Amino acid sequence: MTNSKSSFKAIALAAARAGDSKKASPVTVYDLAGTSPLADYAVLMVVESAPQLDAAEEEVLVRLKQEGVYCLHKDGMRSRNWKVLDYGGTLVHIYDQKAAEFYAIDKIYDKCKQVPWEDKPAAPAPKKAAVKKEAKKPSAKKTPKKAASKKAKPAKKAAPARKPVKKTAKKK
């Protein structure tokens, strides 16, 4: 990718989706548009635990690396509550709820424009009538050999009919 504002936006959006895939919430992307000499975009993601922080960080690094984008600098590598990934024109902040409350970093970006990053859900498909499957009844026939050689066992109860499972599209 070239170092243009549009490529930094693409990096920010990819990072946001990567954090979201690891259940970071909320995930917010800000357009810093001339308000910061450090970056054009900031991605803020809040996690619930240190393992989730590590997972979100790893996911961002891996997804962007797959797109040929490498992190220029990492800060907070020993921290268990806040890490920053620097992609040149995009800063990715990953932190836990305590750090979010203590530092109030979202207040720093309050005056910046938020960038929508979530894929819009597809229009719901028309519902099809559910097809009920009938439970199979155990066969009443037994071979004479089996009936004579073993004690008669009570017939097994038929499994209750299962409700059909709705399949939904996963967002990528």
CATH architecture for residues 5-115: 2-Layer Sandwich (3.30)
Q: What is the largest CA-CA distance in the chain?
A: 89
**CA gap 105, 97 in Å, rounded:** 11
* Of the listed ranges 24-28, 59-63, 154-158, the one predicted with least confidence: 154-158
Q: Where are the domains of the chain?
A: 5-115
10 Å Cβ neighbour count for 61? 18
Q: Which of 71-75, 102-106, 115-119, 141-145 has the highest mean pLDDT?
A: 71-75
Give me the helices (H) in 22-154, please: 50-66, 97-103, 105-108, 144-149
Half-sphere exposure of 26 (CA within 13 A, CB side): 9
Residue 141: both structure tokens together: 């026939």
* 87: pLDDT strictly greater than 80: yes
> 1, exposed or middle or buried, with CB in 10 Å at 0-12, 13-18, 19+?
middle
Q: What CA–CA distance (Å, rounded) separates 105 from 32?
A: 14
Give the chain's mean pLDDT.
Answer: 79
Q: What is the pLDDT of residue 16?
A: 96
10-42 pLDDT, tens digit each: 999 999 999 999 999 999 999 998 888 889 999
Checking if the pLDDT of 80 tops 60, the result is: yes
Residues 16, 61: Cα–Cα separation, whole Å:
12
Q: What percent of the chain has pLDDT over 70?
A: 67
